[in-house]
Amino acid sequence: MRRALITGITGQDGSYLAELLLSQPDYEVHGLVRRSSSLNRQRIDHLAARDASTRERFHLHYADLADASSLSMVMHQVRPDEVYNLGAQSHVRVSFDQPEYTVDVVALGALRLLDATRQLARTQPVKFYQASSSEMYGSAPPPQGLDTPFHPRSPYACAKVYAHWQTINYREAYGLFACSGILFNHESPRRGESFVTRKVTLGAARIKEGLQKKLVMGNLDARRDWGFAGDYVQAMWLMLQQDRPDDYVVATGETHSVRELLELAFSSLELDYRDFVEFDPRYTRPSEVEVLLGDATKARTVLGWKPQIDFRGLVQMMIESDLELARRERFARTYSRP
């Protein structure tokens, strides 16, 4: 059995990665979860409820990236062969409101986990994956690739740059098998509801079903290189299966504006977004990342990775899923009335 430890397993990527690893019979998956006053395991509940063989290979442990001793304890108990650091306060806008907390979890959290991994590496081979972000490029002109200098534009992005360089330094200083995957935006029906793609697809679906009247948005001119999260976790796994640790950019190589996203999502429901969308500066950022467009040549040539789902397919998948959710919500509302 190969043992994988995933931080951020309750998040979008953690859930797809856990699914990918558990689909291979020789993986045991250990996820790190935080204590919360109400359970937030909707994205992984289906894994715990699967057949007995999957259940036996799926384990959760309480720990927190802000708590080094909890990380060491889990590392010691699990003794993983692969560590995937996906845990983060991952919302860029929120990082302006909570900069210190974001930096603690994203930057120092990565350092704490790297160091716990280094301790383990003294006694057994262990590989480390760091979830780096295209936000690190910030205002660097597109296309952004491995040779593009970083120019981070938020507390979150600054923290990710720190974690990226610590990952490289642990590789160079201690010979740790540590990889940094610089992933451009990736989305899915499991995307958190406050990120722009999900906000749009859920908002459009709820408007279609008569559950909401308008959608209040920020900067519609920002452009992102959006891919499907299910494709992107494949790239994470592939990085740790190589003979040598290295860094990679993972992206589709296409960029679209938030406005294009709105047009596509609303028109697929036969709606015109201009009838429903309003602007509120609350949803803008003190410093914005205007254009992201990734160059994933190395991931394609070395890892043999390529995205299976394009922008149009992604939006369609998310719209279908959110329409189903909105219909259920409308049905529940209709039949729960006295």
Asked if residue 238 lies in contact with residue 198, where contact means CB atoms within 8 angstroms, the answer is no
From residue 70, alpha-carbon distances to 11, 33, 60, 159, 169 in Å are: 19, 11, 13, 21, 23
CA dist 64 and 50 (Å) reads: 26
| 294 binds, options ligand G4F, ligand NAP, none, Cβ within 5 to 8 A by partner type | none
Nearer to ligand NAP, 186 or 208 (CB): 186
Asked if residue 213 lies in contact with residue 207, where contact means CB atoms within 8 angstroms, the answer is yes
Nearer to ligand NAP, 86 or 215 (CB): 86
Residues between 142 and 181 with contacts to ligand NAP, criterion CB under 6 A: none
Provide the minimum distance between the beta carbon of 57 and ligand G4F in the complex, in angstroms, as a whole number. Answer: 28
3-state secondary structure of 280: coil
Binding of ligand G4F by 242 (CB under 6 A): no
Binding of ligand G4F by 285 (CB under 6 A): yes
> Tokens 């900067």 identify what position?
219
Question: What are the structure tokens assigned to 108, written together?
Answer: 């120092």
Question: What are the structure tokens assigned to 156, written together?
Answer: 């979150």
Nearest to 185 by CA among 138, 130, 239, 228: 228
Binding of ligand G4F by 69 (CB under 6 A): no
| 44 binds, options ligand NAP, ligand G4F, none, Cβ within 5 to 8 A by partner type | none
Residues between 33 and 92 with contacts to ligand NAP, criterion CB under 6 A: 34, 36, 40, 64-66, 86-90
Nearer to ligand G4F, 31 or 155 (CB): 155
Provide the minimum distance between the beta carbon of 2 and ligand G4F in the complex, in angstroms, as a whole number. Answer: 27
Nearer to ligand G4F, 21 or 182 (CB): 182
Nearest to 127 by CA among 21, 19, 256, 261: 21
Binding of ligand G4F by 288 (CB under 6 A): yes
Binding of ligand G4F by 142 (CB under 6 A): no
Binding of ligand G4F by 258 (CB under 6 A): yes
Residues between 114 and 133 with contacts to ligand NAP, criterion CB under 6 A: 131, 133
| 77 binds, options ligand NAP, ligand G4F, none, Cβ within 5 to 8 A by partner type | none
3-state secondary structure of 230: helix
- Packed helices 155-174 and 109-121: angle between N→C axes, nearest 10 degrees: 20
| 165 binds, options ligand G4F, ligand NAP, none, Cβ within 5 to 8 A by partner type | none
CA dist 104 and 326 (Å) reads: 36
The DSSP symbol for 291 reads: B
**Residues labelled catalytic:** 133, 135, 156
Binding of ligand G4F by 133 (CB under 6 A): yes
DSSP string over 27-42: EEEEEEE---SS---T
- Packed helices 68-78 and 109-121: angle between N→C axes, nearest 10 degrees: 30
CA angle, residues 325, 329, 331, in degrees to nearest 5: 115
59-67, 144-152, 287-295, 316-324 -> range binding ligand G4F (CB under 6 A): 287-295
| Interaction site with ligand NAP (CB under 6 A) | 7-8, 10-14, 32, 34, 36, 40, 64-66, 86-90, 105, 131, 133, 183, 185-186, 192
| Interaction site with ligand G4F (CB under 6 A) | 90, 92-93, 133-135, 184-185, 194-196, 199, 217-219, 222, 224, 258, 283, 285, 288-289, 292
